[in-house]
Amino acid sequence: MPWLHPFRRRLIAWADNVDDPRIQAHVEQCERCLGIVEEAGRFDDIPLGNVLGALLRAPDSLEEELVERAEIARSNRASLEILGGLAVLPWETLQLMIDQRKPADD
Amino acid sequence: MRGVQASLPSQDVVDGLGPMPDLEQLVRAHWAPTYRVVVALVRDHGMAEDITQESLLKAWKALPTFRGDASLRNWILRIAHNTAISALRRRKPESREPWNLPESLSGPDASDLVADRLMMEQFQTALSALSPSTRAIVVLREVEGRSYEEIAEIVRLPLSTVRTRLFRARKELAIALKGWR
């Protein structure tokens, strides 16, 4: 990273959406310049959290739906695991029988 | 609770965090923030519901491997973020369709409602222009109140990248909200 810092006005211009990949790369690595940019653009008075919260709010019924759906999915997976276990049982039994017969064959 | 605890893997405590929550407890405690981050990423309510469910189930199954070096909430949000990003990759290219969200605006006064809708449309357009992971960063900071360090951990980006993306995103979104304050 070049240790020459950009001029303040170039940092502010970048913050104002003037695309400059060199400034971008510098700001991403330089705490000092990132601080200048953040200081120049304070958005504390914007109710961003409130608007986002309203936009992304889930329907009230979703909690119960998710609990129910997660339980069903969990139980389906558990059943599949049991079936999978049953499917390999004959093979494992056969292997066990072969293993037991081996010493006699030798 | 339907005996969920009985089917858990052998470890019955999450390292240093007390008894392992059952699936229902986990869903109830974490569904809302998980959904908000996911819907910000995928911009589709139905898809967000599915990914939220899948993420919470994955987290619950992986609880015995949770080391406790992040908060449980952050760990779940990271799983949800990764699951949503994978789903988006499968769906590529990202749809330019409007957001598909349930109707959430309400108000007694019709003119307020129309004004809100216009503002929301403008805001959604600005939000859509951001990359999915930048949208997640904004929600994690502005709605969920996570620290920069926590966000960097959740989205697996360098701290400085998180800060610069957040700065640019706030600026874009502030422009969209200008005049509505």
pLDDT digits (tens, 9 = 90+) for B44-97: 999 999 999 999 999 998 998 888 878 999 999 999 999 999 999 887 666 566
Q: Return mean pLDDT, chain B.
A: 81
pLDDT value, residue A38: 81
Alpha carbons within 13 angstroms on the beta-carbon side of residue A75 total 10
A75/A73 Cα distance (integer angstroms): 5
pLDDT value, residue B180: 63
Q: Which residue of B has its CA nearest to A75?
A: B4
pLDDT value, residue A77: 76
CB contact under 8 Å between A66 and B177, yes or no, is no
Q: Where are the alpha helices (DSSP H) in chain B?
A: 23-42, 45-62, 72-91, 110-128, 132-142, 148-155, 159-177
CB contact under 8 Å between B139 and A43, yes or no, is no
Q: Which residue of A has its CA nearest to B135?
A: A52
Q: Does B52 touch chain A (CB under 8 A)?
A: yes
- Contact predicate B133/B41, CB 8 Å: yes
Percent of chain B exceeding pLDDT 70 equals 76
Give me the residue from B35, B39, B170 closest to A48, CB to CB.
B170
Say if residue A2's pLDDT is above 90.
no
CB contact under 8 Å between B142 and A48, yes or no, is yes
Q: Does B164 touch chain A (CB under 8 A)?
A: yes
CB interface of B with A, residues 62-101, below 8 Å: 99, 101
- Any residues with CB less than 8 A from the CB of B87 and at least 6 apart, and which? B42, B47, B51
Rounded average pLDDT over B27-33: 94
Percent of chain B exceeding pLDDT 90 equals 48
A70/B50 Cα distance (integer angstroms): 10
pLDDT value, residue B17: 47
DSSP helix/strand/coil, B44 = strand
Rounded average pLDDT over A11-20: 80
Q: What distances in angstroms separate CA B5 from CA A73, B24, B26, one per listed residue?
A: 15, 10, 12
Say if residue B15's pLDDT is above 70.
no
CB atoms inside a 10 Å sphere around CB B45: 18
CB contact under 8 Å between B163 and A58, yes or no, is no
pLDDT value, residue B171: 84
pLDDT band, residue B40 (cuts 50/70/90): very high
Q: Which of A84-88, B86-90, B96-100 has the lowest mean pLDDT?
A: B96-100
In chain A, which residues have their Cβ closer than 8 Å to the Cβ of B164?
Answer: 24, 27-28, 34, 37
pLDDT value, residue B5: 40
Tokens in use for B104?
């959430």
A36 versus B104: the higher-pLDDT residue is A36
Whether ipTM tops 0.85, in short, is no
Percent of chain A exceeding pLDDT 70 equals 88
A22/A6 Cα distance (integer angstroms): 9
pLDDT value, residue B42: 93
Say if residue B10's pLDDT is above 60.
no
* Residues shown for chain B: 181
In chain B, which residues have their Cβ closer than 8 Å to the Cβ of A51?
Answer: 119-120, 123, 177
CB contact under 8 Å between B171 and A29, yes or no, is no
Rounded average pLDDT over B107-126: 71
